[in-house]
Amino acid sequence: MAKIMVVNCGSSSLKFQLFEMDNEEVITSGIVERIGYEDAIFTIKYNGKKETKTLSVPTHNEAVALLLDNLLDKHIVESLDEIKGIGHRVVQGGSYFDSSVRIDDDVKAKIEELIPLAPLHNQAHLIGINACMKAMPEAGETATFDTAFHQTMPAKNYIYPIPYEYYTDHKIRKYGAHGTSHYYVSQRTIEYLGHPEHSNVIVCHLGAGASLCAVKDGKSYNTSMGLTPLAGVMMSTRCGDIDASVIDYLDENLHMSIKDITNMLNKKSGLLGVSGVSGDMRDVKAAADEGNERAKLAIDIFIRRVADYIGKYFVQLGKVDAISFTAGIGENAPWVRKLILEAVGQALGIVIDDDANENGKGERLISAPESKVKVYVIPTNEELVIARDAKKILNLIG
């Protein structure tokens, strides 16, 4: 039996899932949070149980050791040799990678080279990769890149209209993100459509981070995030698209440093910045229901920005067969889906099945039979994509 671990290292966290690939069952999952602190939090789920404890976890090396010790102590595995592969999520693969790859020194060097494009993420991924290699040297390791799916975009959709040498000499272009999620959800959508020869799908990955993707014949045609995940639609704490001259204005007139401006645009804007309440859509909705006008405005802007991108991608694709919603807000907030679909409904001929939208569970169609565009809710499963890729790349059978 081939067991594969999927690892997602953030700057101060390590998320994991262990799969039994014979039946793609999740044996255990969990997270180490607050790595680098004395009060780090370790959570593990297995055999229908959930355990949490607080302890010191100085680095990702200790986080990996903590995870592996628990796998053995709880007899989730009897030996680490049972884990034949480790699949790592990597945010930024630049133009180097259009698919998942086996990790070697060259791959690690490229991930390191791309740290300036994702400083918080790629550095952490490398630390996690090296920690896992040290702890389990016999297991094969693979990398699945958030940017890989978007490498099929045509140049007209990823080149910025700035002097061309910034692209050729400094790799400044649109890369996108959430590619693994967009791939999984678009493929499931195409399955629901009956595997037509040609298909046009718009995936709305709406969570704390949010992006949309226009998928043409199963390949990414355009996506809303850019050089970094700051671009595109309004998000939890990110501003999304904004006039670049705002940065110069803040620098010249408010005497803010570029670092402070970037921090503000990434961590203090979006739903949080407009509402003044929270970056969590649930909190913003509660405040709006109590009459908070800024919270109402934050919701209105979010809906408007997502609807605008759906309209933009409808025009670029020429027609749309299906729109699919995924991620935290996309999967769990029927009222958000309804407002977005109402905003584009008249133009695109979309009719919602209110009962399916509000009361249904899991993967499902939420548009009415007379709707000109089918609309689905499809929970994303990036970890399964990573595990499947690792199994294929490492040639693990049984």
The residues annotated as belonging to the active site are: 146
End-to-end CA distance of the chain: 5
Cβ distance 39 to 47 under 8 Å?
no
CB atoms within 10 A of CB 72: 12
d(CA 57, CA 36): 6
User: Hey, what amino acid is at 46?
Assistant: Y
Task: Tell me how far apart the alpha carbons of residues 236 and 281 are, in angstroms, rounded to a whole number.
Answer: 7
Determine contact, residues 205/327, Cβ cutoff 8 Å.
yes
Helices (H), 176-291: 179-192, 245-253, 258-267, 270-275, 281-289
Strands laid side by side in the 140-145 sheet: 49-57, 37-46, 25-33, 13-20, 3-9, 83-90, 140-145, 101-102
Question: Do 344 and 328 form a contact (C-beta atoms < 8 A)?
Answer: no
* Cα gap 314→385, rounded to integer Å: 27
The count of other CB atoms within 10 Å of the CB of residue 257 is 10
* 8 A C-beta contact, residue 176 and residue 203: no
